[in-house]
Amino acid sequence: MATRIDIGIDGGGSGCRVAISVDGGEITETRGGAANVVTDPAAAEAAIREALLTALKTHGLRLEHMTRARVCAGLAGARLPGVADAFATRLPFLAYVVDDSVTALEGALEGAEGTLASLGTGSFFIRKSREGTRHVGGWGFQLGDEGSAAWLGRRALSLSLRVADGRLPPDPLAEALTRAAPPHPVLFARDASPGDFAQLARLVPEHAETPLARRLIGEVIEALFDGLRDVGHEQGEPLVLVGGLGELLRSHLPAALRSDLRPAAGRPLDGALALARGLP
């Protein structure tokens, strides 16, 4: 019978994943449904439980064997006050619950010091140093996520209306944005989700040579520099840039910043499992 079970969990609104290793052996992964611990903790618990039971079954284990398990769960939204502790008490087993940015940093840098900047639909910045771990951003589309794809899409659509008003010169990007936001940008924005705005952001690098696109790319890079400064990143330190928008804009970054870039060593799920393995 297993003497040590290590389990990493990665969860968010788009789904959850579980990685399990028994006695340091082969890692097995399973997937589950949406696990938004802020908007629907009950559904998140059910999704994680289902994925976990499937993972345990592959090793001939059941939920009662979780007394021998070390578990780390990196969950989107767990950084909000009280959320991690509240969700941990819902689980039928002991678990170290952290924000998914923590497991993302651990996976990307394999526990080493450095900075992770995530420019996806949302955005956040997190840095590990000898002084500890510092996290900025990640507060969501309504109140933050500067430099993210959703933020960029909304900003781009806003400037397209300035073009329509004659406050900015005509620009092919503004035309493309207007076509992509039928029947009118105002009506589109009324019902648009962060993901809808993030889709619009893809048009910006596709029109990278237009004046409007150059302005918008400059604003994203400014937001990136602001986040890196505020999290304490220093030039020459390892920097991992992740997220769809980060990948699209990589070639537009200044050379000094590109020289700090490192590929992510692993995923948030890998980071969660590594942290679980470090638990006593």
Q: What is the per-residue pLDDT across 22-77, written as a single tens digit (0 to 9) for each?
A: 887 888 889 888 888 887 888 888 889 899 899 888 888 888 888 888 999 998 88
The pLDDT of residue 249 is above 90 = no
5-110+266-277 and 149-258 in the same fold: yes
Average pLDDT over residues 124-153: 90
130-140 pLDDT per residue, tens: 888 999 988 88
pLDDT of 151: 93
pLDDT at residue 119 greater than cutoff 80: yes
pLDDT of residue 236: 87
Cis peptide before 81 (omega within 30 of 0): no
Question: Does domain 149-258 fall into CATH 3.40.50.1000?
Answer: no
Query: Can you name the CATH fold of 5-110+266-277?
Result: Nucleotidyltransferase; domain 5 (3.30.420)
E strand or H helix at 266: none
Tell me the domain boundaries of the chain: 5-110+266-277, 149-258
Cβ-based neighbours of 108, under 8 Å, separated by 6 or more: 116, 240, 242, 264, 265, 266, 271
